[in-house]
């Protein structure tokens, strides 16, 4: 049995014993669905300067911002859930997973069938007018940009449209984040999947869980600063590791 196989069994044992499991997911869980992450081996920051996803860049260069966003959105809209998203749905159906806190804006957990998902960085499905605050479905902007406009505009007031999703430099939606903190502090196992854990305040949630006595299972392709604090760390692809863990949980569930 390889070390990874042993760790998969250990993770399954912890999951079986746990009463309230909360998953914290990041961009890495959607890489196998064809959506690049930011900091992984083929991440977006190998091609772009991270500043492009900030509120200050949007306000200075909306045209360039929207060129980048349109490219990202086309990828998001095409993407389908992968075996890692589906494994979390199974855990929820088995009554083992209480909720998912996700940093992702791609909606793939919901597309896969997960019921309770806290999107702490918002969703790519909506845009908001920077003048009148009206919400518009993201299809509006895609239509406008594809028809040759370079910056999407609110059809109610002519104001500039921005993604409702959180940009660097934005505040997080406070009600959703407070709920995430409350779930993290009351779980007895946190399952972290596909996050470099460098974007704060999301990256403080594992410490909140740990401080309140939760076990930590961490699955990520590369090392993170939190590895040494976790009870089980598995470096590998979420799409192959998570289904194996769930299969082992099912065996004696
Ligand atoms: P990140 O890019 O900082 O880290 C992703 C991590 O996932 C990396 O450490 C990488 O090693 C790991 N990884 C890559 N492929 C993996 C795989 N197949 N299986 C397991 N792990 C894998 O992402 P983050 O920590 O989520 O934080 C960055 C921000 O990126 C978040 O705020 C999020 O909103 C945003 N983001 C979201 C999406 C999305 O919605 N899919 C995509 C890109 C970025």
Question: Residue 205, CB half-sphere, CA atoms under 13 Å: how many?
Answer: 36
Tokens 């791609």, located at residue: 106
- If you average pLDDT over residues 159-165, what whole number do you get? 94
In a 13 Å sphere around the CA of 229, the CA atoms on its Cβ side amount to: 16
102 CA to middle of ligand 1, Å? 10
pLDDT at 133 over 80: yes
Q: Domains, the chain, ranges and CATH?
A: 1-35+81-123+172-253 (3.40.50.1220), 36-78+126-163 (3.30.1600.10)
pLDDT of residue 184: 98
The pLDDT, as a whole number, for residue 101 is: 98
Answer yes or no: is pLDDT of 98 > 80. Answer: yes
Per-residue pLDDT, averaged over 215-223, amounts to: 98
Rounded mean pLDDT, 127-143: 90
Please check the confidence at residue 1 and state whether its pLDDT lies above 90: no
What stretches of the chain adopt beta strand conformation (E)? 21-25, 97-102, 117-119, 126-129, 135-137, 161-163, 189-193, 215-220, 232-235
| Closest residue to atom 43 of ligand 1, CA basis | 37
Q: Give residue 77 CA to ligand 1 midpoint distance, Å.
A: 17
The residues that are catalytic are 121
What's the 158 CA to ligand 1 centre distance in angstroms?
A: 34
Atom of ligand 1 nearest to the CA of 104: 40
Q: SS3 sequence, 106-171?
A: CCHHHHHCCCCEEECCCCCCEEEECCCCCEEEHHHHHHHHHCCCCCCECCCCCCEEEECCCCECCC
- pLDDT tens track for 43-94: 988 989 999 999 999 999 999 999 999 889 889 999 999 999 999 999 999 9
- With bands split at pLDDT 50, 70 and 90, how would you rate the model's confidence at 130? very high
Nearest to 101 by CA among 239, 201, 210: 201
253: pLDDT strictly greater than 90: no
């Amino acid at each position: 049995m390889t070390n990874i196989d042993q760790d998969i069994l250990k993770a399954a044992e912890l999951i079986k014993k746990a009463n309230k499991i909360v998953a914290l997911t990041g961009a890495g869980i959607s890489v196998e669905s064809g959506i690049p992450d930011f900091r992984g081996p083929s991440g977006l920051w190998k091609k772009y300067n991270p500043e492009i996803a900030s509120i200050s860049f949007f306000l200075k260069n909306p045209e360039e911002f929207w060129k980048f966003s349109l490219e990202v959105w086309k990828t998001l809209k095409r993407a389908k859930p992968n075996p890692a998203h589906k494994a979390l749905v199974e855990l929820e159906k088995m009554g083992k997973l209480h909720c998912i806190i996700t940093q992702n804006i791609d909606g793939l957990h919901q597309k896969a069938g997960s019921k309770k998902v806290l999107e702490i960085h918002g969703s790519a499905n909506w845009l908001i007018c920077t003048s009148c605050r009206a919400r518009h479905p993201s299809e509006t902007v895609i239509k406008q940009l594809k028809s040759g406009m370079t910056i999407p505009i609110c059809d109610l007031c002519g104001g500039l449209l921005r993604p409702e999703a959180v940009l660097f430099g934005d505040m997080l939606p406070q009600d959703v984040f407070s709920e995430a903190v409350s779930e993290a502090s009351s779980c007895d196992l946190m399952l972290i999947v596909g996050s470099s854990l460098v974007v704060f305040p999301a990256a403080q949630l594992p410490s909140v869980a740990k401080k309140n006595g939760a076990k930590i299972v961490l699955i990520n392709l590369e090392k993170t600063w939190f590895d040494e604090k976790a009870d089980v760390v598995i470096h590998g692809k979420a799409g192959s590791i998570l289904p194996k863990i769930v299969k082992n949980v099912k065996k004696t569930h």
